[in-house]
Structure 1
Amino acid sequence: MGKATVVINNRVGQGATLIVHCKSKDDDLGVRYITESWSFSFTPNPFGRTLFFCRFSWPGQSEWFDIYKGNRDWHYCEQCIWNILPNGPCRLSDSGEFDVCYPWNPKSLM
């Protein structure tokens, strides 16, 4: 298994800057201010235990999501490309569409 790359595209609308803070158990990638897109790469754990979660904030909203879960994404995501939308993140599928969509993580787990 080689490197994996996560690409985050800002699609929250109205020219808003997307503020993103991604972390794993071992790495804090810091706060990023995304007007268009941002990416990061890493070497996944071969046992499917890699987890990167991100806080996403823009005017009037703050959410979080597990942007890379090894047991969910390893076989799809040599490059995981995500559109971040107000109602949740959507991943680019094999069909070339951003049609693999998820809800935000529950706020009770924040």
Structure 2
Amino acid sequence: MANHKTVDYQAEKGIYYKVLFGLLALTALTFIQPEMFLTQYTFGMQMLIGTVKAWIILMYYMHLKGEVLIGWTVIFAVFIVVFFFSIVMIDVSNFQYADVSHITSPAQ
């Protein structure tokens, strides 16, 4: 029972308010950015803002900030996805007989 820690809920409440206002500011930026700075990078900026918002929600509202195992799980999952994606890319670049394939041949 020695690994229990006491939590100051008033301090926690202050952190949650800061996170809330940060998310509100990022949401406002999501709407303002395309109107004021419409460039070819708008989609990338919107995805970046969305990723930051998702990370903040995961870390604070889902209480994953202090978890170590979740970090290794995410790293492993990304490694597996990149590994299989690279296998598919290598296979596609070496694809032979495309003209006789039932997948790539034109419909009859």
Which band: TM-score by shorter chain? under 0.3
Where is the strand percentage greater, Structure 1 or Structure 2? Answer: 1
TM-score scaled by length of structure 2: 0.19
Choose between structure 1 and 2 for higher RCO, CA contacts under 8 A separated by at least 6 residues.
1
